[in-house]
C-alpha cells in the first residue's frame, strides 16, 4: 500500500521555456500534485477515481481492477446508482480498498470527428470528480488517465485536459471553499508517465 506521504513527488520536474508555460509559476500548486506510476487500487488516499462506463457495473481496464479489489459489495452499491451519463460522476464507498471513497466517472469514447465535444466531456469528468471530492470533504483525489485506454483518447490531448482542469480548479479556490490537500495523477505505462512528466511543467511550472 502507498500512503499519501509516500507517494512519488514531482520534484524532478524542470521548467519549460517561458513560451511553453501555460500558467504562471506557483509552487503552492505544484506542491499539491503528485505523479504516481502503479496500481491505483493500492493507494491509501481519501478518494480514487474509476474510469467507468455508463452502466457503472464494472468492466475492463482500471474499472475491472477496482471492482476486483473492492469486492462484491461495490458492485451491489453500483446496481442502485442507475448508471451515469458521459462526462458525469457518481460516488460510492470503497469497501475492501484502502481509499475511503470511489468516484466513478464516465469518460467519452474517443472519435476524431467530434474531438471538441469529446474534449468537453473529458474535462467535465475531471471537473465533476473534483466537485464530488469537495462536496464530500475528501482531502485527496487520485485520477487514472480517464478514457485513454479502451476508450482510445490520445494520451497527450487527454493529459492537457486533466492538468488544465486541475490547475484552473486551484486558481478558482477562495478562502471559503474546502481545499484539496493533494491531487494524484496515476499512470500505468512508461509512455503515459513520460507524457505527464513533460506536460506537468507547462501547467505547474516550478518557481
Positions in the binding site for ligand ADP (CB under 6 A): 39-41, 51, 61-63, 65, 107, 144-151, 186, 188-189, 192
Cα–Cα distance list, 180 to 44, 100, 141 (Å):
15, 15, 8
Q: Tell the smallest beta-carbon distance from residue 144 to ligand ADP (Å).
A: 4
Using the minimum distance from each CB to ligand ADP, give the nearer residue, 33 or 146. Answer: 146
Query: Residue 7: helix, strand or coil by DSSP?
Result: coil
Using the minimum distance from each CB to ligand ADP, give the nearer residue, 40 or 119. Answer: 40
- DSSP assignment string, 26-75: -HHHHTTEEEEES-GGGEESSEEEEEE-TT-S--SHHHHHHHHHH-HHHH
Q: Tell the smallest beta-carbon distance from residue 41 to ligand ADP (Å).
A: 6
Q: Is there a contact between 33 and 185 (Cβ–Cβ < 8 Å)?
A: yes
Using the minimum distance from each CB to ligand ADP, give the nearer residue, 56 or 170. Answer: 56
β pairing state of 47-52 and 2-3:
unpaired
Only one residue has cell 495523477, namely: 185
Using the minimum distance from each CB to ligand ADP, give the nearer residue, 147 or 164. Answer: 147
Q: Tell the smallest beta-carbon distance from residue 88 to ligand ADP (Å).
A: 14
Using the minimum distance from each CB to ligand ADP, give the nearer residue, 34 or 41. Answer: 41
Q: Which grid coordinates are listed for 57? A: 457495473
Q: Tell the smallest beta-carbon distance from residue 181 to ligand ADP (Å).
A: 21
Q: Tell the smallest beta-carbon distance from residue 207 to ligand ADP (Å).
A: 30
Amino acid at each position: 500500500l502507498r500512503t499519501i506521504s509516500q507517494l512519488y513527488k514531482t520534484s524532478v520536474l524542470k521548467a519549460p521555456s517561458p513560451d511553453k508555460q501555460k500558467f504562471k509559476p506557483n509552487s503552492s500548486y505544484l506542491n499539491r500534485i503528485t505523479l504516481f506510476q502503479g496500481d491505483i487500487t493500492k493507494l491509501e488516499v481519501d478518494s480514487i477515481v474509476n474510469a467507468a462506463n455508463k452502466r457503472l457495473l464494472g468492466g475492463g481496464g482500471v474499472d475491472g481492477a477496482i471492482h476486483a479489489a473492492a469486492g462484491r459489495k461495490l458492485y451491489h452499491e453500483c446496481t442502485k446508482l442507475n448508471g451515469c451519463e458521459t462526462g458525469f460522476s457518481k460516488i460510492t464507498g470503497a469497501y475492501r480498498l484502502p481509499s475511503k471513497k470511489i468516484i466513478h466517472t464516465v469518460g467519452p469514447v474517443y472519435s476524431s470527428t467530434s474531438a471538441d465535444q469529446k474534449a468537453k466531456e473529458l474535462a467535465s469528468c475531471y471537473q465533476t470528480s473534483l466537485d464530488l471530492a469537495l462536496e464530500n470533504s475528501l482531502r485527496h483525489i487520485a485520477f487514472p488517465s480517464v478514457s485513454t485506454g479502451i476508450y482510445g483518447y490520445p494520451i497527450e490531448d487527454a493529459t492537457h485536459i486533466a492538468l488544465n482542469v486541475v490547475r484552473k480548479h486551484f486558481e478558482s479556490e477562495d478562502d471559503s471553499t474546502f481545499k484539496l490537500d493533494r491531487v494524484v495523477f496515476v499512470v500505468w505505462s512508461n509512455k503515459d508517465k513520460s507524457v505527464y512528466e513533460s506536460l506537468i511543467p507547462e501547467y505547474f511550472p516550478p518557481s
